[in-house]
Amino acid sequence: MSALSRRDFIKLGGTLGAGLLLGACSACNKQRIFTLRQGVGSNPSDPDADMLGWVFIATDGSIKVAIPSAEMGQGVYTGLAMLVAEELDADFAQVSAVAASVNPQFDNPKMRGGQLTGGSTSTMAFWTPMREVGASARSMLLQAAAKQWKTTPESLKTQPGKVVHPDGRQLTYGALASAAAKLDAPSSPKLKSAKDYRLIGKPQKRLDTPDKVRGTAVFGMDVRLPDMVYAAVEHAHALKGRIAKVEGQAAVTAMPGVLSVHVFDTWVAVIAKGWWQAQQGLKALKVTQDTTGVPTPSSADHRAKMLQALNEHGKAKRGKETKYLDVEYEVPLLEHATMSPINCTAHVHAKGCDVWAPTQAQTNSHKAAAKACGLKGDQVRIHTTYLGGGFGRRAETDFIHQAVTLAAKVKLPVQLIWSREETTRHGFYRPAVISRFQVGLNEKGDPQRWSNQMAMPNMLYQKVPAVPNMVWKLTGDVIGIDGAKEPPYAIDDLDVDTLHVELDTPLGFWRAVGHSHNGFFVESVVDELAELAGEDPAAYRRRFYDEYPRHKNVLDALTTMAQWDKKRPEGHHLGLAVHESFGSVVGEVVELSVAKDKTVTLHRIWCAIHCGQVINPDAVQAQMESGIVYGLSAATRGQITLDKGVVQQSNFHDYQVMQMSEIPPIEVHLIPSTSAPTGVGETALPPIAAAVANAIYAATGTRLRRLPFAQAGFKTWRRGGA
């Protein structure tokens, strides 16, 4: 079965129970999609069964929509369900969202990794397919009503949840569902024009909110199964260390509630009737670590290697420019700091393996589980729960493998929970980067030479080990360079190089990935160029945006919102940044003041985004606020440091995030558009560090070129009045 594409919805339809189930699969021809996994999930009204199609309309009129992306707070359950409901002309109050089963029909066509949530792609990927399945269902319901009334579908219309005859007669979707399921689906369903949207573009209440408010939503740590036991783990302290010896196992298994101890090459697990009992047993073990023959780098070693790579590469030769910028910017390793620690529940039983996982990567989790228990793929089921924060960390599968491995050993359902300390010290970190810029300005103040060398580890070198090193040397780091390779300000001679530096540290996709650091680098450099050219930062940017209409729209909106040219109160200063990522352009203006002791007061933040057609405005606003806060945490204090291969941070006391008392009012403006949607979930993060740094320079005359800002003494942050 091929990956889903815009044209994969060629043949839809099927009966299942008493209702209409629509599936999608380009390689299934006229077969009903549910026959792909016959006997599994055969009743969508069963909350424990997989729904094997995309939308199920029950005879009572309720509608279930399968969501292929993981709901990790970004509102995708609501947004993607809205796409189906819009074209179906459904009553949104009757719509519910369920996690899609693991099946190639639900693969993300924008990502190479099967069913995967990341890269701000969910809405982009399923914008057309989910509308098509809704339109197909509506067409079939109209056909069913026309047959019953002995008229033509064209003579009928729909209103939310029902088909209406010209004479006023009505039939609900529930009443028509069984008859509609017997019909052929249209091969090319007609989609609405933007002017006819009833739901898209208008605020909708999130479908996942009621359960979360009531406390009935199931996150990974909420899973409860009969006879379930709990596992606590301890990894070798050094990132590449091993477990040499474990002593005291007999005494630990004699402790109340403790069932067993399991020792592996790089980690130890204790299984008990309760997690606290498992954790206490773990603490009672005497674990000897071993780092013989493995790298044990410290943060100073990382920095020295990156600087060495830059120096060996050499700087670009300076031309005849009279105004020239030669600077280095730097960011550290970062952890994901998800609200819920790493966790997973697995049960290996006679009929197969079931895994309840807060995962962003269902396909890879399915593969990891099958490998861990030695079963065939069709014997393994992944049940996707709410995540408790993802940010890229839950795209990994290490915790899936651990949970299934333990479950296979004890033959009981096992809920694996890492402590916060283990979660922090054994992550997959955002790479550290040092980026050197040499930019020469012509007599007009335009960059006529833009040279940028970036020293950093190549993440794909770890993620795709099958690719020879020579290939990576030729291609460079295609992810780490995102947001730097084609800056809108480099109008002439552009040269951007990535220099691979092996840091011997597990790397992972962190929110906004390469854009997370390049937004800070490039937009800070542009502020320096504006000063070098003797121009206002906003005016300087504007003259490069003629060929970038989204940038210009965002900048114009920002300067209007913030009243950029208005005189500020005494001591208040503004900083600006505009960055494109994942197809969208986001700009931010920060107003702040700085006391003599370097206490920073954030007074207000303005944000504008151009992301094409907005689906649910409330969700976009929430994601802008979320990205800003997450980015502020990283910019102000976030860093992972190593000493002899061991992560020094352990919990929120030494890996701090921004507090509510530090966050100022945030005003968000959405640029109207009817073009296809582009990314939202990560796009607010890249500009915020630069906007703050540029504002601090305006306030103090100090350029902050290295994150976090706490390293330069800006350790105290607070919320100020507007």
From residue 463, give the alpha-carbon distance in Å to each of 81, 122, 401, 409, 513: 32, 22, 17, 28, 14
| DSSP notation for 50-102 | PP-SSEEEETTS-EEEEE-S--SSS-HHHHHHHHHHHHHT--GGGEEEEEPPS
Q: Cβ(594)–Cβ(715) under 8 Å?
A: no
Q: Do domains 19-212 and 433-719 have the same CATH topology?
A: yes
CATH architecture of 433-719: 2-Layer Sandwich (3.30)
Q: Burial code of 130-154, b = ≥16 C-beta within 10 A, e = fewer? A: bbbbbbbbbbbbbbbbbeebeeebe
Phi and psi dihedrals of 626, rounded to 5?
-60, -50
| Structure confidence at residue 526 (pLDDT) | 98
How far apart, in Å, do the first and last CA atoms of the chain sit?
55
> What are the tens digits of pLDDT across the range 537-589?
999 999 999 999 999 999 999 999 999 999 999 999 999 999 999 999 999 99
| Structure confidence at residue 50 (pLDDT) | 63
Phi and psi dihedrals of 102, rounded to 5?
-80, 115
CATH number for the domain running over 221-292+342-417: 3.30.365.10
Length of the chain: 722
| Structure confidence at residue 463 (pLDDT) | 87
| Structure confidence at residue 18 (pLDDT) | 60
Is 19-212 assigned to CATH 3.40.50.300? Answer: no
* CA 434/CA 307 separation, integer angstroms: 7
* CA 522/CA 687 separation, integer angstroms: 9
β-pairing, 343-349 with 414-417?
A: antiparallel
Beta pairing partners, 592: 573, 602
| Structure confidence at residue 574 (pLDDT) | 98
Domain boundaries along the sequence of the chain: 19-212, 221-292+342-417, 433-719
Using 50 as the pLDDT threshold, list the residues of the chain that sit under it: 1-17, 25-48
For the record, the structure tokens of 702 come out as: 């100090």
